[in-house]
Structure 1
């Protein structure tokens, strides 16, 4: 038989305990709705939070990889554009040099051809000198190691080799002082220009392959980053539809708990009737 006492109200204590449990659950649901996360701190679920933090670190590191790949791709693309201009200029030089091999040219005609030749020759040097992006020039011989872009978060790199297209370099063998002022000089310059055209074509193919490699890896890194972000979301994001339904249920349960506590608290007043 339950003890009738004004000092100890067991029913009220049980009702209060149940109400506190409901309030704690309601607070948890409200926090999930406010943050959109079922695990927003280490105290929610230490293991899951630690895993999520580790993956967030990977995602952040991949941002650095993407930045490096984008810089590398830009540097290579600038070099490709400049290299194509060099190739076009060499084609013009070949026409001038071939014309100058004609021994029947008058001195004035040969002089005019030579001036055109030198002007176009000097444009090659200008194009190569200006083929820089963010301080990196893959065509003037200054970047002997090429451009090494980050490939992953472990620090591995993708290297695109530099192609020295400066005059008298390994690719453009035409000299900085080459002329076509005589038939023999024109013949010599023609041979150098022809070899240079072939060399530049091969160098552009290498740069194009390097640009494609950087672009392919950049696409992969973007997809990997998206997959990691989705994985983190699966670990920590709350199902708001489910939490909304649970909120409604807990609010109803809370109201019922308050009613139960009120009934339990009023039960001791019934004892007054025993003394009338």
Structure 2
């Protein structure tokens, strides 16, 4: 049945043309924007995933800036520590030259003073954007933002690379330690070869006394007194003490006491006695023919002193005398090790930061590629689809035109 009121063919052609036009609009939009999913309406699930990943990419780019800043800061400290090490090596050379008997030690001392001033300049200038890692202004580690970690549940946390500061300052200001007030008269803190604290142990000729650090706690106080006054030997009586802080270990306490004794022996030219350290043990050997008295005194409740600066002992170097030149050799070796350790630590930290920065950049590239595969338009396919839809559109227009002409044939029935 034909009708002039209802043209079914025209309605079918019109609906077909509408679908073609909608598809054509979608393809044209994909080509114009370069994205097949540009809004949540296009594909809600893919849009949500890609949007989260896009925000992570932006965050990782900010992390890259943080890592670059951290690398520059640590690199500045490393370069300064290396320059300090070179200058300390120069000072060591001057000290070695000052060992001779027929040299002008005063001139060497002047040169050393100038080198120390150079070190002070390096340490003071070693800052990047106001942060100095080697001037002793703080002991707190510096945290460099390194990564953004997203769990499977969607929660996000940050991780950091910690860089330890190193004190290479030459400042000679600090606070002295306070020896503890509560005496401990046994071997629980400092074991003097089995002799209780407060009691003298006699070390015979050619004998060795082994003193071990038995326990360490914040405020524990240690004192060793060496005396040969009873035998009229060369040393007299001398005490060496140390008050532990919370960061000390048995080895560090033993090292401090042994270094004090060794420095004293070197400065005074003492050869009747010698000292070595092995782990948490201090071994004092009596090389003379007379006995040596060794007394350990221990206490709790002390206060550790504040360091005068990592290179503060540079101010104690005095090569104007033979004894001073000898003692300076021991001092400069310790200071050289301090500077070398600092430069090596900064080098390791900078290397880690650089590696993390390279990884983050690789991660950004991988995530960007992943987002693109989810949302970007396949331009080759879109081009082919566009041409096909344009042909369909033309055919749809012609079909609609033919369907609209169908009622005209009904006029011939009334002629």
Same structural fold, with TM-score higher than 0.5 when normalized by the shorter chain: yes
TM-score, normalised relative to structure 1:
0.93
Residue 151 of structure 1: SS of its match in structure 2?
Answer: strand
* 2:359 equivalent to 1:220: yes
- On the 8 A contact 2:136/2:309 being kept in 1, the answer is no
Q: Pairwise CA RMSD of aligned residues?
A: 1.5
- Matches of 1:127 and 1:230 in 2, distance apart? 45
Of the candidates 20, 23, 26, which is equivalent to residue 24 of structure 2?
26
- Matches of 2:334 and 2:384 in 1, distance apart? 76
Query: What is the CA-CA distance between 1:173 and the residue it aligns to?
Result: 4.8
- On the 8 A contact 2:317/2:331 being kept in 1, the answer is no
Residue 314 of structure 2: SS of its match in structure 1?
Answer: coil
Q: Where do 5+ consecutive residues of structure 1 fail to align?
A: none
Alpha-carbon distance change, 155 to 226 in structure 1, aligned in 2, over 3 angstroms:
same
Of the candidates 167, 181, 186, which is equivalent to residue 164 of structure 1?
167
Aligned to 1:186: 325
Aligned to 1:84: 82
Which is richer in strand? 2
Q: Where do 5+ consecutive residues of structure 2 fail to align?
A: 149-156, 173-307
Post-superposition CA distance 1:14-72 (Å, at most 9, x none): 11100000000000000000111110000000111011111011111112221221111
Aligned to 1:13: 11
Of the candidates 37, 43, 46, which is equivalent to residue 45 of structure 1?
43
Aligned to 1:56: 54
Of the candidates 249, 261, 270, which is equivalent to residue 400 of structure 2?
261
- On the 8 A contact 1:171/1:203 being kept in 2, the answer is no
Higher mean C-alpha displacement, 76-85 vs 174-183:
174-183
- Matches of 2:141 and 2:126 in 1, distance apart? 14
Post-superposition CA distance 1:109-154 (Å, at most 9, x none): 3332221110111100100111111111111112422321112112
TM-score, normalised relative to structure 2:
0.63
Aligned to 2:177: none
Q: How does 1:172-251 map to 2 (within 5 A)?
A: 172-176=311-315, 178-251=317-390
- Matches of 2:316 and 2:65 in 1, distance apart? 41
With a CA cutoff of 8 Å and minimum separation of 6, indicate the structure with the bigger relative contact order. 1
State the 4+ residue runs in structure 1 displaced beyond 6 angstroms.
none
Residue 157 of structure 1: SS of its match in structure 2?
Answer: strand
- Matches of 1:267 and 1:34 in 2, distance apart? 39
- Matches of 1:221 and 1:63 in 2, distance apart? 8
